[in-house]
Amino acid sequence: MPDEETKWDEYYQKTQGRAPRQLLLDGLEKFPTGESLHAIDLGCGDGTETIELFSRGWHVLAVDRAEVAIKRLTGKIPQEAQSRLKTEVAKFEEITLPQTDLIYASFSIPFCHPSHFLELWEKITNALSSGGRFAGQFFGVRDSWANQPDMTFHTEEQVRTLFAGFEIEYFHEEDEDGQSASGLKHWHVFTVIARKV
């Protein structure tokens, strides 16, 4: 049976060459251009979104629990841009987050163990500067994976409660069958962009 690093490497191979996710592009549109801003890419994966942030002049802390993800990312960053990148191989319960303007968490934080999720969320909210934004997804209770005890799932009410102290700028619920890298599944996902007030 393949180990976790091998499984993630196989996933990145299946998804390599994809475009940056629309969620990131929509979130970036809400920031002024021409400023030196900082982002944290939580669960950076193969680095597609980190590369997009780099192309727009952002400084990025890229975090992933899979070492193979960080290796793939650093191999794509031009030498002259390396000073704008920091990386960390760590589980979510282990991380320390610096102050930042954007936390991007695409399909990543549901993989935090439920016993550590509220601690992680506190780290996220504390790290965001006033006017900073969170852009990411939460898995809902009707998702195919909702029987996984080491993952975190939310109702809509629970997700909205997390954003006390935020202005929700975008909120979308997906509750339908669709494809994943491993095949057909039922997706129940809340996608959120929110500004810390």
Using only the alpha carbons of the chain, give its radius of gyration. Answer: 16
Query: Is residue 166 predicted with pLDDT exceeding 90?
Result: yes
Nearest CA among 110, 138, 127, 107 for reference residue 38: 127
- The predicted pLDDT at position 36 comes to 79
Q: Which domains does the chain have, with CATH numbers?
A: 4-196 (3.40.50.150)
Which is more confidently placed, 6 or 152?
152
What is the per-residue pLDDT across 128-141, written as a single tens digit (0 to 9) for each? 999 999 999 999 99
Residue whose entry in the numeric block shows the structure tokens 């994966």: 45
d(CA 109, CA 1): 25
By mean pLDDT, which of 32-36, 100-104, 108-112 is the weakest? 32-36
What is the per-residue pLDDT across 30-66, written as a single tens digit (0 to 9) for each? 998 867 799 999 999 989 999 999 889 999 999 999 9
- Per DSSP, 77 falls in state S
d(CA 172, CA 177): 16
What is the per-residue pLDDT across 143-157, written as a single tens digit (0 to 9) for each? 999 999 999 999 999
Overall pTM surpassing 0.85 (yes/no): yes
d(CA 9, CA 13): 6
What is the per-residue pLDDT across 172-189, written as a single tens digit (0 to 9) for each? 999 999 988 778 999 999
